[in-house]
Amino acid sequence: MAKNLTKLWLGGLKRLLAVQTEYVESASKKRKPLRQARPKPVARPAVKARAAETREKPAATARESRVRPRAAAWAGGAWTRSFHSAPAAAGRLVNHLHYGLYIPAGRALAPMPLVVMLHGCQQSIDEFAEGTRMNLLADRFGFAVVYPEQSKHVHAHRCWHWYDTSDHAGGAEIRAVASLVDELVAEHGFDGERVYVAGISAGAGLASLLAIHYPWRFAAVALHSGPALGEAHSGIAGMDVMRRGTRQDPVELIDQAVDVAAYPGMPAIIVHGDADQVVAPVNADQLALQFARLNGFVGADGAWKTGEIREDRKASVVTRDYVRGGRRVIRLCHVAGLSHAWSGGDDAVPFHSSKGPDVSALLWEFFKHQRRSGVPAELDAAAASVPAGR
pLDDT above 80: residue 379: no
What mean pLDDT is predicted for residues 67-89?
Answer: 72
- Banded pLDDT at 375 (limits 50, 70, 90): low
- Please report the pLDDT score of residue 165 as a whole number: 85
pLDDT above 80: residue 5: no
Cα(225)–Cα(274) distance, integer angstroms? 10
pLDDT above 80: residue 228: yes
H-run or E-run covering 84: strand 78-85
pLDDT above 80: residue 385: no
Q: Output DSSP code: residue 132.
A: H
- Amino acid at residue number 132: T
- Please report the pLDDT score of residue 91 as a whole number: 58
> What are the domain boundaries of the chain?
2-384
- Please report the pLDDT score of residue 390 as a whole number: 37
H-run or E-run covering 273: strand 268-273
What mean pLDDT is predicted for residues 10-33?
Answer: 51
H-run or E-run covering 117: strand 114-118
pLDDT above 60: residue 315: yes
Whether the bond into 111 is cis, omega within 30 of 0: yes
Mean pLDDT of the chain: 82
pTM value?
0.81
- In the sheet with 96-103, reading across from the earlier edge strand, the strands are 78-85, 96-103, 144-149, 114-118, 195-200, 220-224, 268-273, 327-335, 317-324, 308-313
- Amino acid at residue number 138: A
Cα(101)–Cα(281) distance, integer angstroms? 31
What mean pLDDT is predicted for residues 90-114?
Answer: 80
- Please report the pLDDT score of residue 208 as a whole number: 98
Query: What is the C-alpha radius of gyration for the chain, rounded to an integer number of angstroms?
Result: 21
pLDDT above 80: residue 23: no
3-state SS class at 85? strand
pLDDT above 80: residue 147: yes
Residue 122: left (phi > 0), alpha (psi -120 to 50), or beta?
Answer: left
- Widest CA span in the chain: 66
- Please report the pLDDT score of residue 73 as a whole number: 52
In the chain, helix, strand, coil percent, each to 5?
40, 20, 40
- Please report the pLDDT score of residue 325 as a whole number: 95
pLDDT above 70: residue 330: yes
- Please report the pLDDT score of residue 51 as a whole number: 34
- Please report the pLDDT score of residue 241 as a whole number: 97
Poorest-confidence range of 18-22, 134-138, 261-265, 272-276? 18-22
- Please report the pLDDT score of residue 383 as a whole number: 45
DSSP 293-351: HHTTSB-TTS-B-S-EEEEEE-SSEEEEEEEETTEEEEEEEEETT--SSEET--TTSTT
* 157-193 per-position pLDDT tens digit: 999 999 988 877 888 899 999 999 999 999 999 999 9
* 31-55 per-position pLDDT tens digit: 444 333 443 333 333 333 333 333 3
pLDDT above 90: residue 237: yes
pLDDT above 50: residue 289: yes
Cα(71)–Cα(60) distance, integer angstroms? 11
323 exposure class (CB count in 10 Å sphere: 0-12, 13-18, 19+): middle
Cα(178)–Cα(386) distance, integer angstroms? 15
Cα(74)–Cα(101) distance, integer angstroms? 16
pLDDT above 60: residue 26: no
Q: Do the strands 317-324 and 114-118 form a parallel or antiparallel pair, or are they unpaired?
A: unpaired
* CATH class of the 2-384 domain in this structure: alpha beta
Poorest-confidence range of 18-22, 77-81, 326-330? 18-22
* 70, 153 contact by CB (below 8 A): no
What mean pLDDT is predicted for residues 301-329?
Answer: 96
Which residues face 327 on adjacent strands? 324
pLDDT above 80: residue 17: no
